[in-house]
Amino acid sequence: MTAQLRLFAADDADWLTRQHGALYARDEGFDASFETLVGEILNDFLRTHNPARERGWIAEEGGQRLGSIFCVDSGVPETAKLRLFLLLPEARGKGLGQRLLDTCLDFARATGYRHLTLWTHESHKAACALYARNGFVLTNSFPTHSFGVDVVEQRWDISL
Protein backbone atom coordinates (compact mmCIF):
# COMPACT_ATOMS: atom_id res chain seq x y z
CA MET A 1 0.00 0.00 0.00
CA THR A 2 1.27 3.48 -0.85
CA ALA A 3 0.75 6.47 1.40
CA GLN A 4 -1.77 9.02 0.17
CA LEU A 5 -1.66 12.79 0.64
CA ARG A 6 -4.89 14.54 1.51
CA LEU A 7 -5.84 18.00 2.67
CA PHE A 8 -5.54 18.77 6.38
CA ALA A 9 -8.91 18.80 8.17
CA ALA A 10 -9.91 20.23 11.54
CA ASP A 11 -10.09 16.76 13.09
CA ASP A 12 -6.37 16.29 12.34
CA ALA A 13 -5.34 19.15 14.63
CA ASP A 14 -5.30 17.28 17.95
CA TRP A 15 -3.40 14.35 16.47
CA LEU A 16 -0.83 16.63 14.84
CA THR A 17 -0.35 18.67 18.01
CA ARG A 18 0.15 15.52 20.12
CA GLN A 19 2.56 13.96 17.61
CA HIS A 20 4.73 17.07 17.50
CA GLY A 21 4.76 17.26 21.29
CA ALA A 22 5.59 13.60 21.80
CA LEU A 23 8.25 13.29 19.10
CA TYR A 24 10.04 16.52 19.95
CA ALA A 25 10.00 15.71 23.66
CA ARG A 26 11.44 12.25 22.97
CA ASP A 27 13.97 13.21 20.29
CA GLU A 28 14.95 16.75 21.26
CA GLY A 29 14.05 17.04 24.94
CA PHE A 30 11.58 19.85 24.25
CA ASP A 31 9.22 20.86 27.02
CA ALA A 32 5.44 21.27 26.77
CA SER A 33 5.75 24.81 25.40
CA PHE A 34 6.52 23.33 21.96
CA GLU A 35 3.28 21.36 21.85
CA THR A 36 1.46 24.51 22.95
CA LEU A 37 3.05 26.45 20.08
CA VAL A 38 2.03 23.81 17.53
CA GLY A 39 -1.54 23.93 18.88
CA GLU A 40 -1.60 27.71 18.51
CA ILE A 41 -0.26 27.51 14.94
CA LEU A 42 -2.96 25.01 14.01
CA ASN A 43 -5.73 26.95 15.73
CA ASP A 44 -4.67 30.12 13.88
CA PHE A 45 -4.58 28.19 10.60
CA LEU A 46 -8.08 26.81 11.15
CA ARG A 47 -9.46 30.24 12.07
CA THR A 48 -7.80 32.49 9.53
CA HIS A 49 -6.18 30.68 6.62
CA ASN A 50 -7.00 31.63 3.05
CA PRO A 51 -7.66 28.31 1.24
CA ALA A 52 -6.69 29.85 -2.10
CA ARG A 53 -3.20 30.73 -0.79
CA GLU A 54 -2.58 28.39 2.14
CA ARG A 55 -2.88 24.62 2.54
CA GLY A 56 -1.94 21.78 4.80
CA TRP A 57 -1.58 18.12 3.84
CA ILE A 58 -1.68 14.92 5.82
CA ALA A 59 0.08 11.77 4.66
CA GLU A 60 -1.72 8.59 5.58
CA GLU A 61 -1.66 4.92 4.75
CA GLY A 62 -4.34 2.41 5.60
CA GLY A 63 -6.18 5.03 7.65
CA GLN A 64 -3.09 5.78 9.76
CA ARG A 65 -1.72 9.32 9.72
CA LEU A 66 2.01 9.40 9.02
CA GLY A 67 2.95 13.06 8.63
CA SER A 68 2.14 16.57 7.53
CA ILE A 69 3.32 19.69 5.76
CA PHE A 70 1.82 23.18 5.45
CA CYS A 71 2.28 26.10 3.07
CA VAL A 72 1.15 29.42 4.55
CA ASP A 73 1.52 33.07 3.69
CA SER A 74 4.48 34.58 5.53
CA GLY A 75 3.17 38.14 5.59
CA VAL A 76 6.03 39.19 3.31
CA PRO A 77 4.92 39.89 -0.29
CA GLU A 78 5.32 36.91 -2.64
CA THR A 79 6.76 34.75 0.18
CA ALA A 80 5.25 31.59 1.62
CA LYS A 81 6.32 29.75 4.73
CA LEU A 82 6.69 26.00 5.07
CA ARG A 83 5.39 24.86 8.45
CA LEU A 84 4.66 21.77 10.50
CA PHE A 85 6.65 19.34 8.35
CA LEU A 86 6.54 16.08 10.28
CA LEU A 87 7.05 12.41 9.50
CA LEU A 88 6.53 9.70 12.06
CA PRO A 89 9.67 7.58 12.51
CA GLU A 90 8.08 4.54 10.84
CA ALA A 91 7.37 6.62 7.70
CA ARG A 92 10.89 7.95 7.25
CA GLY A 93 13.33 6.82 4.59
CA LYS A 94 10.63 5.82 2.08
CA GLY A 95 10.45 8.97 -0.05
CA LEU A 96 7.34 10.30 1.69
CA GLY A 97 9.16 13.39 2.95
CA GLN A 98 10.14 14.24 -0.63
CA ARG A 99 6.54 13.76 -1.78
CA LEU A 100 5.28 16.08 0.94
CA LEU A 101 7.94 18.69 0.14
CA ASP A 102 7.20 18.45 -3.61
CA THR A 103 3.49 18.96 -2.91
CA CYS A 104 4.23 22.07 -0.84
CA LEU A 105 6.65 23.51 -3.41
CA ASP A 106 4.28 22.81 -6.31
CA PHE A 107 1.40 24.50 -4.48
CA ALA A 108 3.53 27.54 -3.62
CA ARG A 109 4.59 27.92 -7.26
CA ALA A 110 1.07 27.41 -8.60
CA THR A 111 -0.29 29.96 -6.14
CA GLY A 112 2.15 32.61 -7.34
CA TYR A 113 4.61 32.74 -4.48
CA ARG A 114 8.13 33.55 -5.62
CA HIS A 115 9.94 32.54 -2.41
CA LEU A 116 9.49 29.95 0.32
CA THR A 117 11.09 30.11 3.75
CA LEU A 118 11.18 27.79 6.72
CA TRP A 119 12.48 27.65 10.28
CA THR A 120 14.01 24.52 11.78
CA HIS A 121 16.77 23.29 14.06
CA GLU A 122 20.27 22.19 13.13
CA SER A 123 19.67 18.85 14.88
CA HIS A 124 17.16 17.86 12.18
CA LYS A 125 19.92 16.51 9.94
CA ALA A 126 17.75 14.47 7.57
CA ALA A 127 15.29 17.33 7.00
CA CYS A 128 18.11 19.83 6.45
CA ALA A 129 19.73 17.47 3.93
CA LEU A 130 16.37 17.18 2.14
CA TYR A 131 16.04 20.97 2.00
CA ALA A 132 19.57 21.34 0.61
CA ARG A 133 18.98 18.64 -2.04
CA ASN A 134 15.90 20.55 -3.19
CA GLY A 135 17.62 23.90 -3.63
CA PHE A 136 16.98 25.55 -0.29
CA VAL A 137 19.81 27.71 1.04
CA LEU A 138 20.67 28.10 4.72
CA THR A 139 20.35 31.86 5.26
CA ASN A 140 20.57 32.17 9.05
CA SER A 141 21.76 30.03 11.92
CA PHE A 142 22.13 30.96 15.58
CA PRO A 143 22.24 29.31 18.99
CA THR A 144 19.38 30.02 21.37
CA HIS A 145 17.44 28.52 24.26
CA SER A 146 13.94 27.42 23.19
CA PHE A 147 11.42 24.93 24.52
CA GLY A 148 13.56 24.27 27.58
CA VAL A 149 16.75 23.29 25.73
CA ASP A 150 19.71 24.83 23.94
CA VAL A 151 19.22 24.61 20.17
CA VAL A 152 20.64 26.04 16.98
CA GLU A 153 17.79 27.62 15.03
CA GLN A 154 18.05 27.80 11.26
CA ARG A 155 16.26 29.61 8.48
CA TRP A 156 16.26 28.08 4.99
CA ASP A 157 15.02 29.86 1.85
CA ILE A 158 14.35 28.98 -1.77
CA SER A 159 13.43 31.05 -4.79
CA LEU A 160 10.58 29.48 -6.71
Over the chain, what is the mean pLDDT?
A: 95
Vertex 99: Cα angle to 95 and 137 (nearest 5): 95
* Helix extents (H) in 4-156: 13-28, 32-48, 96-111, 125-133
pLDDT given at position 114: 98
User: Which listed CATH number (3.20.20.70, 3.40.630.30, 3.30.830.10, 3.30.450.20) goes with 4-159?
Assistant: 3.40.630.30
Radius of gyration for the alpha carbons in the chain, expressed in angstroms and rounded: 15
Global pTM value = 0.95
With a cut of 90, say whether residue 160 has pLDDT above it. yes
4 forms beta bridges with 60
Instruction: Select from 128, 124, 147 the least CA-distant residue to 136.
Output: 128
Structure confidence by residue, pLDDT tens digits, 85-126? 999 999 998 999 999 999 999 999 999 999 999 999 998 889
Percent residues over pLDDT 70 in the chain: 99
pLDDT given at position 117: 98
**How far apart, in whole angstroms, are the C-alpha atoms of residue 86 and residue 24?**
10
pLDDT given at position 1: 63
CB 116 within 8 A of CB 105: yes
Percent residues over pLDDT 90 in the chain: 92
Domain boundary assignment for the chain: 4-159
